[in-house]
Chains A and B, each alone.
Chain A
Amino acid sequence: MSLWTRIANVLRSDRLNRELDEEFESHIADAIAEGRDPAEARRAFGSPLRQREASRQHRVAGWLDGLRADLIFGWRQLKRNKVTSAAAILSLALAMGACVSAFRLIDALLLRPLPIASPERLYGFARHSFDSHDKPTAWDGWAYPDFALMRAAAKPDADLIAASYTDRTDLTYATDEEMEKGYVQYVSGWMFDDLGLKPTLGRLLTEADDRTPGAHPYAVISYDYWKRRFARDPNVIGHTLRLGDQLFEIVGVGPDSFTGVEPGIVTEIFLPTMMHRWVIRPDADWHRTLAVVSPGATIEPLRAKLEAVSRNFDAERLKGEKGLTPKARDSFVNYRLSIDPATSGVSVMQEDYRRALLWIALLVGLVLLIACANVANLMTALAAARGREMALRVSIGAGRLRLVQMVLVESAMLALAAALLGSIFAWWSAPWVVRLISTPDNPARLILPADWRVFGFGVVLVIGVMLLFGLAPALRASTVKPASALKGGEDPQSRRRWMQAMIAAQVAFCFLVVFVSGLFVTTFHRLSNRPIGFDANRLLLLETVAPHGQPPAAWSQMADTLRAMPGVESVAEAGWPLLSTGAWNGSIAINGGPPSVDWGYFLTISPGWLDTMKMRLIAGRDFRSSDAFPTTAIVNETFVKLFFHGVNPVGRTFEKAEGNGTRTPCLVVGVVADAPYRYVREPILPVAFVPYRELDDKGVVQPEYSGTFLVRAKDSNPMAMAQEMRRKVAQARISFRVSNIQTQQELLDAQTVRERLLAMLGVFFAAVALLLAGIGLYGVLNYSVLQRRREIGIRMALGARRGRVARLVTAEVLRTVAVGCIAGWALGIGSTRYIESLLYQVKAGEPEMLAVPPIAILVVVLSATAPAVSRALRIDPAEILRSE
């Protein structure tokens, strides 16, 4: 009660003052009315101001009153220095917003625990070994029979869960007319129980739904998918969905928050692993293995036990494999199994973006430090201007702590204003980055909630930033010595030294930011300008399916139909497009020798595909419509180098060696120039193109279920024809469906998404860092010229030349910048080890990489020093001398 009225009195301070004054006045009036002398009565009463203060102490919460006064005073200070405050708030807002944004992304992708019962007990499995070039490799794919053995061995210490790589797949509801894409994941039926998940509707999959291969056609859809695709329709239970030639019945909707165990992908449909076509194959690694470890179980013994089980399985499996080199066998069997915490799930996106995001966070952090240094310098300069005020406050009895509080309140106001602006920026920018890393065919979806985690980070950030830029100036202000300050002779050197140190730090950080973003930009530039061996312009890709299979002749007729459409230059067909990350590989045997350790890669293509792609034929000929697989192939230059030792292979034969010992002969009819097959970043793979007309053992032509039509358009925007093409295909033959349309350029761009993101953000942050450093430098120089006005004036009066004055003003700052550059350079060189995996054909030590940052900084320094120098030169000695 009492505290409350005291707090309330803070807010009605003026009224309180009026009331106290009125009471005192009435007291004096009474005294006079009793006949006392007015002057004597007033003297006896004492100073009303002191009376007021004494009473206020009882009636007002003092600390709060002080805070209130500081807030009002701080606000006036900020308003008085409008431009400075706005610059400080804006630069802080930008940096803090970027920080929060980076935190949101990192948190969502890497830190946030999955919304399951005990995320800390979830673990992920991986295998580590060495490839044929003795480089360490890791893979997390498993074959189901191996998994089944491991699961049995792991009990009761842990329950193992199989979860396939979530795939964006064609599927249909109701009729085949409406084909759509959905994110499908095959998971162990018992996963939902193990993770402690409860259905929103219907039921979830159970262990009973995952026993017999092919016997459990049930699907569970995610809450998010139910909301978007079915508008929360409660009658969704019992709907059937078709996936290829399988039908599934929807039995339930998952819990609200659960979006799968792969951050970056929101799984939409969960199917039992038993329905996967490879579930009985011992040689197909198609799912991840996760484990929910029992409370109290220790990991290492479990790891050792499962490693033995899995190695044993692979050793058994490879027993029948002939012709495997000892080294390859060793790498396939003697791997190390690792069990790592998967509190926040496991996903490809985590692997792809972990390092990139950490670097972005680092750049953002550096920009924040630069902004803080800037604001600290601004505050120091302001504090210098207020030195007399501070001295006055100390001499009339203000305590040190009270002064620190006053300056910190100002800092807090700056930080809070910046945080408000920054949160708007963060609100917008985090989803923007997610959109940036999405590609049309693989939209990234990150759940980015603005909850207590983000809020908590924001609060810590505000406090940290406030202390970072506010504490030092506040402490300095409080140690003011009244006597010397009132005389106007406080030691200006120490303050300047402090500001110089800030400038050096700024320049060093700025150097690092510019250096790192230079590496990112060059990487992106070299990657996008890499020769790709084909022409990706005006190339439309129609991924097409024929659910019941169609003979190659029908596919070829469809190509003719498309070719006849207006605006089409040429049409060809392939199993899938280059750079769509699909791969088909096998060992290669020459002259009946052993299968190779290195794999050859395959792609089915139609005659004319090379022309449509504009790939250069180096020797031999293109396929004819009579060619078939097996027996003919066109190989690329790398294939020739690797398997034929560079000798022209046209007319020679190689064999595709299968794991089970069968060998498919291929006669080389042509050699084609190198082109990236799967990823732009990886070295060129040895590729053998084979005819899309496939024969089985008996020489019978096989039907094809899916393929991609490549349409080279005459117009520069091939997407304009997409809808027309889709309709045409459906009209021409009822059994064909276009499931996806994209351009080759999109596929190409999709592969440099991360590099583009890093380059864009790098340029942005480098620009911000340079701008902030420039502003900081300008502010400090301006301040030092103002401070040394008298000295400069006297020097000029004594005949100092203009060049000498300019040197006087800039020498110190230029030395500081040089020191900062050297420190930044050292930091840059030191950091390169951690950045190499993100770079493409760029060495951190390249001269141009090291030259760009100093040049950029030099330009900024010159433009920031020019105004201060000209100001120094415009000083009129006569005026200075007069004023002294």
Chain B
Amino acid sequence: MSRYTEAKNTFIDEIDLDAYIDLESSRASYDQLAHSFKKSLKIVLVFGQPGTGKSLLLNRIYRDKRQQRELYFFDTPIMHKKVFFSKLFNILTKQELPQDSSIDFETFIEYLKSQKGKREIIILLDEAQMYPEVILEKIRVLSDTGVIKFVISLHQTEDEDLIAKEHFQSRIWETIELKNATKNELKTYIYKKLLMREQFELANQIKDRHCALLYKYTLGNYREINKMIYTVFEIYEYYDKNNPHKIKHDTFSTKIIEMAAIKLGYIHV
């Protein structure tokens, strides 16, 4: 396998906890979220632009803390009330909800109240902005019981802020905002990613000016960075296979970054 193929695969945009890069800002967010678990139960809001690492943060905390706490992770949004309650029923009773049966919400709330002080359940909800309003309303009431704490992750847009405001603001205990990488973080991120795959030579070829150019196009958004570097190495991979004389193997090319930027629509020609 070409070293460019190996490098390219490093930047596939997927949640790979083993390939997680520990940066200062993400470490701070993680610590803040972990610390919020110890506080009184209500709602924790994790928000930020798409591609800032919200899902990765929830995944990491779930992997690390699920042995220590009663922690559940809804990684994909649930659109139907029945499915949502079926899941909650399973969490509370450790049993499947019998088919053709439904949950009476008030009875459910009463049951939860009876569990207060006995159980502390934390449910991580990723992409919460996609939940229907009716479920969001139920989540708000469920959080009031003090038995279930919800960590909800939302995209940071005006509308989604409104959702958070309307349904959860009075109950939000902690707010964690995730931001794009700074220039330095971008550089560290790329270096560490490459070093993780032992691509020392390639890592050393990427200079500050390349990082500045990458930052210019991606604005430090991790998803965009991944996309961009993936494309850069894909172009390298092509040249390496078909026209190896067209690329320098000992220096990183601004031209190829620009070609990737054209390909991804950052540059309009």
Does A associate with B in a complex?
Answer: no
Interface residues of B (CB under 8 A from A): none
